[in-house]
Amino acid sequence: MKRWMLKAALMVIALWGLSAAQALTMDEARGMAVGDSDARVEALAKAVAQGSEKTAVFLQALADDVVKISGDQVIVVRDGQGLDPVTGQAVAVPPDAEEVMLNNRLRGEIDTALAALKLFSPDVKVRRQAALALLKEPDASRAPLLDKALATEKDPTVQSLVRQARAAAMLNSETANDRLLAARELAGSKQPETLLLLNQQLAQEQDPAVQKQIQSALVKVQDSLRWGERLGAMFTGLSLGSILLLVALGLAITYGLMGVINMAHGELMMIGAYATYVVQALFREHLPGVFDAYLFVAMPVAFLTAALVGAVMERAVLQHLYGRPLETLLATWGISLVLMQGVRSLFGAQNVGVENPSWMSGSLQLLPNLQLPWNRVLIIVFALTVLVGVALLIGKTRLGLFVRGVTQNRPMASCMGVNTARIDTYAFALGSGIAGLAGCALSQVGNVGPDLGQSYIVDAFMVVVLGGVGQLAGTVYAALGLGLVNKLLEGWTGAVLAKIAVLVFIIIFIQKRPQGIFAMKGRSAEA
């Protein structure tokens, strides 16, 4: 079935509840297609108020830019075939037929009109979305159509939304009593758009009784939205905490377990992010049909690339500097500069964009004012998965046993036959690979650039020190705690003061408890 026939059939099914007594006329179609914007909007409102099936089909054709004008004739042209929008019969398309032009205002009016006509769809979800769209774009001329929809609507949720949409449309009525009743109805709304409508009307309202009712409605709507705002702030803090956790996990190994102050940790994250960018580019060019799967390939590539760079760093430089933390700091800082300049030379100094797969796009709507972006939700799940993997690796595997043995007593581990140099390389490569995974995750929530790691390195060190050097559990508590506290404080003090407050808290905490939330146990703690 051709595309235009499918759309027309779907529109007829969706509008089964509309009255077909009044059909679209050629004068109405021409009024919506030509003339100045005000006249076309007025003609559009009159046609929508009638609510015929042919009007809906014609509006869809206007939205699809397939309507042409020739003299007094209006023609819908799809796939090279002309159709009369009034009779639906095939007609010839004159050579001098001109395309109908639409500005942004008209496109918005057409979209809203189509939403109004969808109020009669048999699908309750479509009707709910249509009512929400009309609530956001109120228009008093659509009150008769909303009344008609309200008379036939059976779903309580859609009924409430339609009543609110009608109240929003009547909020600008010339009659004070209509405005009073509209404000009273909107007091039960839980939509954030209602706040804007009420505030706009309050700014221009002259009637004292209506002013009082609008103020009362504002208080009730704000109370109903408060929990969504609180949960949104908590989710944002949890999202930031999960990112800090990913960033700090690798540092908890290289600094917490090995004692290396790795100032190039942020650049290892950057390498993981650029590895993700390269994999995305290869998929887009060579495997566009399975582009959405690129992230599953990018994760191991990011891990291995960063781990390889980390292993080279450890074997070439750091193995000669163990036990000298200041020198490791200076050496890794120099390496970070080399890595940043290398990336600038290969990819340029400008940020590059990494596109989310389609399954990470969109959001999860929990409340009217609470949407959880899928990319943030999945990053939280990913961070927890990486955490469990690292905990099992350190606590349950042979490599983890060797890492813990070398960390606590290197001479004794060497006497027991452990190749401490090899274990150092493995452990550093592991921490670097986790940093690469963090970079892969960060590429899904922001741009990728040479300075990516610099934004997180200080926060990562704060997380490790606050949680307790060498303690994965402390790293988790510190990362999530700092993320939540930072975002909650931002709502009260602003971003800058929130950062300062968090830093002051950490300084005071470390003064009182230098070992962090969890103290290191074993011989290394006693040394």
pLDDT of 82 higher than 80: yes
Mean pLDDT of all residues in 250-273:
83
Tens-digit pLDDT profile for residues 220-245:
888 888 888 888 888 888 888 888 88
Q: What is the DSSP letter of 35?
A: S
Complete DSSP assignment for 50-83: HT-HHHHHHHHHHHTT-EEEETTEEEEEETTEEE
Burial code of 194-221, b = ≥16 C-beta within 10 A, e = fewer? bbebbeebbeebeeeebbebbeebbeeb
User: Which pLDDT value is given to residue 367?
Assistant: 77
Residue 283's H or E segment, with its range, is helix 265-286
| Of 525 and 37, the one with more pLDDT | 37
Query: Cβ(18)–Cβ(113) under 8 Å?
Result: no
Q: Where are the alpha helices (DSSP H) in 398-494?
A: 398-408, 410-415, 420-442, 457-467, 472-493
User: Which pLDDT value is given to residue 28?
Assistant: 82
3-state secondary structure of 371: strand
Tokens of 3: 């595309």
| Of 360 and 325, the one with more pLDDT | 360
pLDDT of 522 higher than 50: no
The CA–CA distances, whole Å, from 514 to 26, 130, 460, 518, 519 equal 82, 58, 17, 10, 9
User: Which pLDDT value is given to residue 299?
Assistant: 94
Q: What is the DSSP letter of 356?
A: P
Of the candidates 410, 66, 398, 387, the residue with the CA atom closest to the CA atom of residue 250: 387
What confidence tier does 525 reach under pLDDT thresholds 50, 70, 90?
very low
3-state secondary structure of 170: helix
Tens-digit pLDDT profile for residues 116-140:
777 777 788 888 888 887 787 787 7
Measure CA of the first residue to CA of the last residue in the chain; give whole Å.
79
Tokens of 141: 């001329």
What confidence tier does 514 reach under pLDDT thresholds 50, 70, 90?
low
What's the angle, vertex CA 136, arms to CA 135 and CA 142, rounded to 5? 50
Per 3-state DSSP, the chain is made up of helix, strand and coil in percentages (nearest 5) of 70, 5, 25
Residues 6+ apart with CB under 8 A from 350: 449
Of the candidates 152, 151, 120, 154, the residue with the CA atom closest to the CA atom of residue 134: 120
Residues 6+ apart with CB under 8 A from 404: 257, 394
Q: What percent of the chain has pLDDT over 70?
A: 89
User: Which pLDDT value is given to residue 52?
Assistant: 67
Residues 6+ apart with CB under 8 A from 311: 425, 428, 429, 432
pLDDT of 425 higher than 90: no
Query: Cβ(140)–Cβ(170) under 8 Å?
Result: yes
Tens-digit pLDDT profile for residues 330-368:
898 899 999 999 999 998 888 888 888 988 888 887 877
What's the angle, vertex CA 143, arms to CA 60 and CA 367, rounded to 5? 80
| Of 1 and 443, the one with more pLDDT | 443
Mean pLDDT of all residues in 449-464:
82
The fold for domain 228-526 equals: ABC transporter involved in vitamin B12 uptake, BtuC (1.10.3470)
* Average pLDDT value for the chain: 81
What confidence tier does 257 reach under pLDDT thresholds 50, 70, 90?
low
User: Which pLDDT value is given to residue 527?
Assistant: 40
Residue ranges per structural domain of the chain: 3-110, 123-206, 228-526
Q: What is the DSSP letter of 448?
A: B
pLDDT of 101 higher than 70: yes
User: Which pLDDT value is given to residue 470?
Assistant: 58
